[in-house]
A and B are shown apart, each in its own frame.
Chain A
Amino acid sequence: MTAARAFLEVRDVSLSFDGVRALDHVSLEVARGEVCAIIGPNGAGKSSLLNVVSGLYAPARGTLLFEGRPVHEARDLSRLGIARTFQNLALFRGMTVLENVALGDDFRARATLLEHALRTPRARREERRARLEARHVLALLGIADRAGDVVGRLPYGVQKRVELARALAARPKLLLLDEPMAGMTFDEKRDMCRFVMDARETLGTTLVLIEHDLGVVMDLSDHVVVLDHGRKIADGAPDAVRRDAAVVEAYVGRFAA
C-alpha cells in the first residue's frame, strides 16, 4: 500500500443484522486506478460491504473515507463521484433504456424545472447533450439499438448492460460492481469484461467488484480481498491470495492449482 492517503479507505467497519455479524472489523484500502476484487463464499458479507461503502447501510462502527472524505448516505454518491450496479438489478423498469442511462448523468444538470417547462435554450442544450452522451455509452456497450426499448421487457443480459451504462454515464471516479457477470453465458461474460476494462482505460475509473468467477477475478484484478463470515481473511495481489492457506480452506479447494 502506498504511503499517500488511499483512494478508498474502509476502517474497522462492523455491521450486524438482528445479531448476525455481517461485517466484523473489516479494513481495507483501495488505491486509485486499480481493479480490486472482493471474493468469498456465499454469505461472506461482500454485498454488505459494498452497501456500506455506497451509503445504503450505516455501519455500527468504523469509518468510510473516499478521497479522504466520509461517505454518509446513498444520495451523496453522485456528488462524490461514485457509481454502482446491483446484484439484483436496480433499473427503472417503466422507463426506456435511453432514459435510464441519461439519468446517470442528470445530477450534473443545471437547468431548473421552469426552464425545462419552457424549453429554454439552456434546457434544450443540456437535454440534447444528455441524450447524446447516453447514446455514446450505449454504443460503447453494444446496445445502441435498444435505446427506445422499455427496460422492463428486455432480456437479462441486456438489462445488465443497461445498468452498467447508467453507472458509466455518471463518469465516476469509483465504480462499484456487485456481481456484474452473474447469470451470464461465457460470451456475455467476455463482453462484460471487455466493457469494464475499456471503461477503466477511457475514464480512468477505479473499480471495486464482487465476483464469483475466480477466472475473471484472477485475470482482471490488481488487488484481491477475501471475506469469510464477515471477516477479512486475505488481502493482496491475486497470486499471493490464491496461494493463501486460509483462503484455500475457506473455499475448500475450489481454486485451480
Chain B
Amino acid sequence: MSFDATAWSASSSDVNRAAAPPATSAKGWRRLSSGPAAAKTLRAGAWLAALAVLVAAPLLVTDYVLTAILVPVLALALAGIGQNLVTGYAGQLSVGSAAFMSVGAFAAYDVHLRVPGVPLLASFAFGGLVAGLVGLLFGLPSLRIRGFSLVVSTLAAQFFFVWLFTTVGWFSNDSASGVISAPRLEVAGVDLASPAGRYWLSLGVVAPLAWTAHNLVRGRIGRSWMAVRDMEAAAAVVGVNTGRAKLSAFAVGSFYCGVAGTLWAFAYLGTLEPHGLDLDRSFQILFIVILGGLGSPAGPFMGAALVLLFPVLLDRVGGAVAGGSVDPGVLQNAEKIVFGTLVVILLVKQPAGMARLVEVAWVRLSRRRARAA
C-alpha cells in the first residue's frame, strides 16, 4: 500500500514551481537573500527563536493555556509523530495508537508503583519501551498480511488493551474500572506539579524525541521505511530488509506513542481511565497526522494544535452565535462533521496536509517578496 503524495493533486505541483530559484540577476544582495546558504542560516535562526519562545512560554501565556492547550498538544503531537512513522513513512495502516499510549501509561504507572525509587523519567522510558515491544508484537502480522487486512491487527490491539486494563485489576492496582492516578511529578528533586512545571516536563520530553524522529526519517532508516511504503517488491531488490523495516517502524512508532501516553496521563490529566484511550482517540491521532500532513515532520504539531484547539474555538463561536454556551453533545457532533469534512477536503485538494499548505504559502510569499525587491 503506497501513499504517493505526489501523483494526483494538481496543487502540489505549485510547490515545485514555487521552489525553483527565482531567475534574477547575479546582484550580490539578491544572491545573499535567496541562496541555499542564506536559507540554512535563516532556518537555523528561526529554529533557535522558536525554541526560545517555547521555553519562555510560561512567562507569556496563562496557566490555562499551559495546562489545557500546550501540554495536551505536545502529548498528542508526540503520539502523532509515532503514528506518522508507521503510517506516513512506512505506509502501514495502524489504528491502535491510543492502545499503545495506554500501554505506555500503565507500564510507567506500574513500574513507578512497584519498583521503589524509580526516577520519573526512567518510568517514562520504561513506558515507551514496553509500548514499543507491544507495538512490535502487533506489527508482526505485517510480515505476512498485506493491505487493509492488516488493520485488524492494530484494531485488535486497540480493543484488547481497553479490555485488559479495565478487567485485569493488577495493572491499575485493583482500582475500580482500571482508573489510575499519576505519581508525583518530580525530576531531580525539582517539583513539576505546577502548570509551568508540567509544561516544561512535556517540552523536555517531546522536543528531544521529536529531534530523534527527525534524524531517523532523514537517513537510511527513513529511506528504508519509505521504500517499503512506495514499492515493497522493489525495496527487496534494492537490498532493503523489508521485514526489519516494517517491524522497526511499528516498534519505534509505538515507543513514541507509549511515551506520549505517559505524558497524557501524568502531565495532562493527572489520572487515566482505559476508555479515555479508545478507538475514537486512535482515530483522532490518525486525523492529526492526516490533517497535519502524512510524512511531514511539522505535521503532527499542526494537526494536534488544530484537533485540540478547534473544539475550544467552536465552543466560543457557537456560544457567541447562540447567545450562551452550546450543548456538549451538539458540539461533539459538529466537531465530527467539521473534522470529517476537513479530512476529505484536504485529501482531495492537498494530500500532503497543512504542513504543505503552509510551505506553499511561505514559498509563494517569499517569491513575491523577491520579485518585489
Contact = CB atoms under 8 A, between A and B. Distances in A.
Interface of A: 54, 56, 73-75, 77-79, 83-84, 86, 90-95, 99, 102-104, 106-107, 109, 111, 113, 116-119, 123, 126-127, 130, 149-150, 152-153, 166, 170
Q: Is the interface of B mostly helix, strand, loop or mixed?
A: helix
Query: In the complex, which of the residues B213, B215, B218 has the most CB atoms of chain A within 10 Å of its own CB atom?
Result: B215
A102 B226 CA distance: 13
Given A93-B2, A117-B215, A150-B6, A77 B237 contact: yes
B252 A113 contact: yes
A34 B74 CA distance: 59
Contacts of B215: 116-119, 123
Nearest to A148: B19
Given A92-B227, A95-B227, A152 B6 contact: yes
26 contacts: A56-B237, A74-B233, A75-B237, A83-B238, A90-B234, A92-B227, A92-B231, A92-B235, A93-B230, A94-B6, A95-B226, A99-B223, A102-B220, A103-B223, A103-B240, A106-B238, A106-B239, A109-B220, A116-B220, A117-B212, A118-B215, A123-B219, A127-B218, A127-B220, A153-B6, A170-B238
Interface string B233-252: 11111111110000010001
Given A117-B212, A123-B215, 12 more contacts: A74-B237, A75-B242, A83-B238, A93-B4, A94-B4, A94-B230, A107-B238, A107-B240, A111-B220, A117-B216, A118-B212, A153-B16
B275 to A, nearest CB: 33
Contact of A94 (B16, B226, B235): B226
A210 to B, nearest CB: 16
Contacts of B252: 113, 117
A116 B216 contact: yes
A103 B237 CA distance: 11
Contact of B239 (A78, A149, A152): A78
Interface residues of B, number: 36
B13 interface: yes
Across the A-B interface, give the 6 residue pairs with the lowest CB-CB distance, nearest first: A78-B239, A107-B239, A152-B6, A90-B234, A92-B230, A117-B212
Contacts of A86: 234
A94 B2 CA distance: 9
Contacts of B295: 94
B281 interface: no
Contact of A99 (B213, B226, B231, B240): B226
A79 B237 CA distance: 10
A94 B220 contact: no
A111 B221 CA distance: 10
Given A116-B221, A130-B220, A90 B240 contact: no
A200 to B, nearest CB: 20
A70 B219 CA distance: 32
B112 interface: no
Contact of B233 (A56, A117, A152): A56
A92 to B, nearest CB: 4
B339 interface: no
Contact of A74 (B218, B227, B236): B236
Query: In the complex, which of the residues B3, B221, B224 has the most CB atoms of chain A within 10 Å of its own CB atom?
Result: B221
B220 A170 contact: no
Contacts of B241: 75
A113 B221 CA distance: 7
Given A86-B234, A94-B229, A127 B5 contact: no
A75 B244 CA distance: 12
A118 B3 CA distance: 27
B49 interface: no
B111 to A, nearest CB: 21
Contacts of B239: 75, 77-79, 104, 106-107, 170
Interface string B339-356: 000000000000000000
B231 A90 contact: yes
A113 B216 contact: yes
A153 B106 CA distance: 46
Query: In the complex, which of the residues B2, B16, B227 has the most CB atoms of chain A within 10 Å of its own CB atom?
Result: B227
B7 interface: yes
A103 to B, nearest CB: 5
B4 A152 contact: yes
B346 to A, nearest CB: 17
Contact of A106 (B4, B231, B233, B240): B240
Nearest to B251: A113
